[in-house]
Amino acid sequence: MKTLETICSRKSIRSYTGEGITQDELKQILTAANASPVGMGRYDEMHLTIVTNPELLRKIDQAGAAMFGKPDIHPLYGAPVLILVSTKTPANKKENVAYSNAAIIAHNMALEATELGIGVCHIWGAVAAVAASPDIIKELNLPEDFIPCCGIVLGQTDYKYEPRDIPADRIEKNIIE
Ligand SMILES: Cc1cc2nc3c(=O)[nH]c(=O)nc-3n(C[C@H](O)[C@H](O)[C@H](O)COP(=O)(O)O)c2cc1C
């Protein structure tokens, strides 16, 4: 796929067959993460956690559902892989670079997953629940002072990506000449 074709084909996949991804596919998705731009080149302030442990995925799914106040939902959609993007806790709450870094890394991975035909969805809600759960944080074995900001779920899907018609005015704009 060409870049714009991949971008227009990506959509949030919320239905998974339960089948995982190959090591080779994971490697390519992680290459996309590592190729991401990061503010001031501070790659050492970012961290990736690949979670495939079914018990931990279940706990995160449940924590997300509890946070939404809807115990019956599955905010990880039964996907077999979750990649969390964590950052060193910003010294100043107004500091937005760390969170932006995390989002860009997550999206680079999402685009590569799309290119590979793998189901992918950005996950912020359940990750906020993870960040608020000291028990789950402990199980993630993160470097000291790091917090998970966002993540993607991944897995095989029956959905076949194809370029979507994207409304040109979905995001309002103004032009200053
Ligand atoms: C910052 C961010 C957070 C998101 N969080 C979630 C989430 O927690 N759960 C979810 O199912 N989708 C999440 N999404 C997906 C959006 O709902 C989705 O991208 C948007 O509705 C547009 O649909 P599309 O991705 O199919 O084009 C998130 C997307 C972004 C960019």
Where are the chain's structural domains? Answer: 17-155
Question: Residue for token digits 């991804």?
Answer: 21
Q: Is the CB of 85 under 6 A from ligand 1?
A: no
Ligand 1 centre to CA of 177 (Å) is 33
Is residue 5 within 8 A of residue 165, CB to CB? The reply is: no
Q: Is the CB of 12 under 6 A from ligand 1?
A: yes
What digits encode the pLDDT tens for the residues 130-144?
Answer: 999 999 999 999 999
Task: Name the residue of 14, 61, 73, 122 whose CB sits within 8 Å of the most ligand 1 atoms, as the mutation to test its pocket.
Answer: 122
Q: Is the CB of 125 under 6 A from ligand 1?
A: yes
Q: Mean pLDDT per segment of 10 residues, for the chain of length 177 residues? A: 94 98 98 98 98 98 97 98 95 86 98 98 97 97 96 98 96 96
Is residue 63 within 8 A of residue 69, CB to CB? The reply is: no
CATH topology of domain 17-155: NADH Oxidase (3.40.109)
Closest residue CA from atom 29 of ligand 1: 122
Q: What is the pLDDT of residue 90?
A: 83
What digits encode the pLDDT tens for the residues 34-45?
Answer: 999 999 999 999
Q: What is the pLDDT of residue 1?
A: 63
Q: Is the CB of 7 under 6 A from ligand 1?
A: no
